[in-house]
Amino acid sequence: MKLCPKCKTLYSELLDVCPKCGIEAPEDSDSAAEPDRKARTRGWIGIVIGIPSFIGFLYLIYFLYSLLAK
């Protein structure tokens, strides 16, 4: 369902104009926000996985260095 910004009438998504006042429906802001949300989610996943992986890699290098130094 769409909501008319002028008269606040709910109408079908199949219609391009409001049946009560005739104003054209604006573009959905939800569909434009979806790629932004996905990009932010991918960024957080990269941080959550990347930082512990980097710390683990540094620990592995330290561990291998300590084995070779003996």
Do 10 and 25 touch, CB atoms closer than 8 A?
Answer: no
The pTM for the full model equals 0.47
What confidence tens digit (pLDDT) does each residue in 1-19 have? Answer: 788 888 888 888 888 888 8
- Residue 34's pLDDT band, with cuts at 50, 70 and 90, is low
pLDDT at 31 over 60: no
What sections of the chain are H helices per DSSP?
29-69
What confidence tens digit (pLDDT) does each residue in 43-69 have? Answer: 999 999 999 999 999 999 999 999 998
- The torsion angles phi and psi of 11, rounded to 5 degrees, stand at -150, 170
